[in-house]
Amino acid sequence: MLKGISALISPELLKILAEMGHGDEVVFGDCNFPAASHSQRLVRADGHSITDMLESVLPLFPLDYAVDYTAVLMNYGGGTEPKVWSRYREILARYPDGNKKYLIVPKPEFYERASRAYCVVATGESEGFANLLIRKGCVREFN
């Protein structure tokens, strides 16, 4: 048992987050995302929303300062933006390098990028087009 780490973060996910280096990417897939067929490493977080997972992971995970975007999202095809995206912006903006623009890419490009990501976290997020990719940065302050 460790202190200060959310119970939503499994030992497997904690290990993977620690293994990741600067520039490695992690995908948080919604409940419809084909996680098993588009991942090098798959972590199940069934029953948890992507926003809850972000709230748990971001205190441990430095966002990348070296890119022009905070996160990568899957294009939803126009119309009304998925409601969860505003929540992502709110959560990510609380962290260094979390208040940049978002890169929105077509579905095939998102799938291709997910296949190259270090890890895919399969969540129970039920909102459509909620898939999110973030890129790990460097720890710049050591306490």
Question: Catalytic positions, please?
Answer: 22
The 3-class SS string of the chain reads CCCCCCCCCCHHHHHHHHHCCCCCEEEEECCCCCCHHHCCCEEEECCCCHHHHHHHHCCCCCECCCCCEEEEEECCCCCCCCCHHHHHHHHHCCCCCCCCEEEEECHHHHHHHHHHCCEEEEECCCCCCCCEEEEECCCCCCC
